[in-house]
């Protein structure tokens, strides 16, 4: 990725020099760097706030309560996962973080959920149905509050950065439901292959 950015910058400078707009290119680079720092500082404040809220929710038992509420739905979406598995709690945490627009916070939780799913995966060489469904759900990225997007809009001087909430909710909810449906359809089209060792063991 670093090489790609390097090539883009070099090409921009070369074309700027050819077209006589090198000053504009340099000014854009400097102003872009300044804007990047501004956005990072804004994101730091919002991310710190929401991560603190998530930690309070975890310590106060709210996350555990949400996990219990999600268990009936989780049993339908992830029928392969045992009832008492810690995966359900990790899935609930991941869903909550994504719903609040905290993709950075959701990532380590999602990795932990995947790790727990791998432990109960009978075929260690391929992803289980639950892992595929969970990945599809994360890719859809359902969000109630797109905190990161709001922070970026606010940092760029948007007068109404929260107007993105309703459109984002509609789009991500539709993608979330569609991702689960497609995952279940593909599960039926491409059922897991039974290995010879499993047949002999049976």
pLDDT tens readout for residues 44-93:
776 677 667 767 876 787 766 776 777 777 778 887 887 777 787 778 77
For helices 103-119 and 87-99, the axis angle rounded to 10 degrees is: 160
Q: Is 20 left (phi over 0), alpha (psi -120 to 50) or beta?
A: left
Q: Are 28 and 22 in contact (CB under 8 A)?
A: no
- Among 177, 175, 151, smallest CA distance to 164 is for 151
| pLDDT on residue 56 | 80
Every domain of the chain and the residues it spans = 40-201
The residue to which tokens 């380590």 are assigned: 108
Residue with more model confidence, 141 or 178 = 178
Task: Determine the Cα–Cα distance for residues 43 and 37; give it in Å rounded to an integer.
Answer: 10
Task: Determine the Cα–Cα distance for residues 63 and 89; give it in Å rounded to an integer.
Answer: 8
152 pLDDT exceeds 50? yes
Q: Are 133 and 184 in contact (CB under 8 A)?
A: yes
Task: Determine the Cα–Cα distance for residues 173 and 140; give it in Å rounded to an integer.
Answer: 8
Give the pair of three-digit tokens for residue 193.
């292959």
Average pLDDT of the chain to the nearest whole number = 78
Least confident segment among 14-18, 34-38, 74-78, 151-155: 151-155
**What is the number of residues in the chain?**
202
Q: Are 113 and 134 in contact (CB under 8 A)?
A: yes
| pLDDT on residue 17 | 84
Q: Is 142 left (phi over 0), alpha (psi -120 to 50) or beta?
A: beta
Dump pLDDT digits (tens) for 32-48.
Answer: 888 788 777 777 776 67
Give the pair of three-digit tokens for residue 17.
């020099």
Single pTM value for the model = 0.60
| pLDDT on residue 82 | 78
| pLDDT on residue 172 | 86
């Amino acid at each position: 990725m670093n090489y790609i950015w390097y090539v883009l910058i070099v090409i921009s400078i070369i074309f700027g020099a050819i077209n006589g707009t090198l000053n504009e290119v340099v000014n854009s680079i400097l102003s872009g760097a300044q804007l990047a720092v501004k956005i990072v500082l804004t994101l730091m404040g919002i991310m710190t706030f929401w991560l603190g809220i998530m930690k309070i929710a975890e310590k106060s038992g709210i996350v555990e309560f949400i996990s219990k509420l999600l268990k009936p739905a989780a049993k339908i979406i992830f029928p392969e996962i045992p009832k008492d598995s810690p995966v359900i709690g990790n899935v609930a945490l991941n869903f909550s973080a994504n719903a609040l627009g905290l993709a950075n916070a959701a990532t380590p939780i999602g990795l932990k959920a995947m790790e727990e799913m791998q432990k109960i995966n009978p075929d260690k060489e391929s992803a289980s149905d639950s892992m595929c469904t969970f990945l599809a759900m994360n890719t859809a990225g359902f969000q109630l509050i797109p905190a990161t997007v709001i922070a970026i809009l606010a940092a760029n001087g948007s007068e109404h950065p929260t107007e993105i909430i309703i459109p984002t909710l509609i789009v991500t909810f539709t993608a979330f439901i569609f991702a689960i449906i497609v995952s279940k359809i593909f599960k039926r089209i491409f059922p897991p292959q039974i290995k010879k060792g499993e047949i002999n063991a049976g």
